[in-house]
Amino acid sequence: MLASGPDMSPTGTWGAACGPALRVLGAWLLFSLVLHLAWEIAQLPLYTLWHDERPAHIAWAVAHCTAGDGLIALGAYAVTSVSLHSTKWPWESPSRGLAVLWASGLAWTAFSEWRHVYDLGSWAYADSMPTLAGIGLAPLAQWVVVPGLALWCLRKWHPVRVEASTKPPTGDEGKRIR
């Protein structure tokens, strides 16, 4: 027999407490994906595949890179939430949150670009790509501009805020203590 504990179903006490946080995370992902897609398309001429590959391969590369950007954005949001001890950081501490987003996004991007360009040869920069220490400035700028815009979008347009308490309800709320 299983020990009784909080109801972990989506409609139970745990699901009710996590629902707003998951909606915020979903909105963060949506805003991030749209912005990263636009950035990926805009920076295509700075990579050799723009000049050397077929349109189907370019479309696949944009989709693949945008999906990867979405995963990085989710990871950066999680790192920021852990670092600031709150899932409500976009409203409580947006400046500190943005600093953590930038640090985590830039660190991952610098590593990933170096690995994929110089170690794996997954992609290459066109001569027109400006670089800093061998890393493309366009992808580095992406992880400064896009998280800031995604945070602005989340704060401006997302109607659901994470509740003041991120702890799941105990079931004792509203009961009188004798």
At 35-88, the pLDDT tens digits run 999 999 999 999 999 988 899 999 999 999 999 999 999 999 999 999 999 988
Per-residue pLDDT band for 148 (boundaries 50, 70, 90) equals very high
Cα–Cα nearest to 79, from 147, 142, 33, 166 = 147
- Given pLDDT bands bounded at 50, 70 and 90, which one contains residue 147? very high
Cα separation, 120 vs 178, in Å, equals 68
pLDDT confidence bin for 2, thresholds 50/70/90? low
Q: What's the pLDDT at 117?
A: 96
Q: What is the mean pLDDT of residues 3-31?
A: 69
Give the pLDDT score at 160: 56
Q: pTM value?
A: 0.79
The mean pLDDT of 140-167, rounded to a whole number, is 81
Cβ neighbour number for residue 136 with a 10 Å cutoff: 23
Helix, strand, coil proportions of the chain in percent (round to 5)? 65, 5, 30
**More confidently predicted of 114 and 178:** 114
How far is residue 52's CA from residue 112's CA, in Å, rounded to a whole number? 22
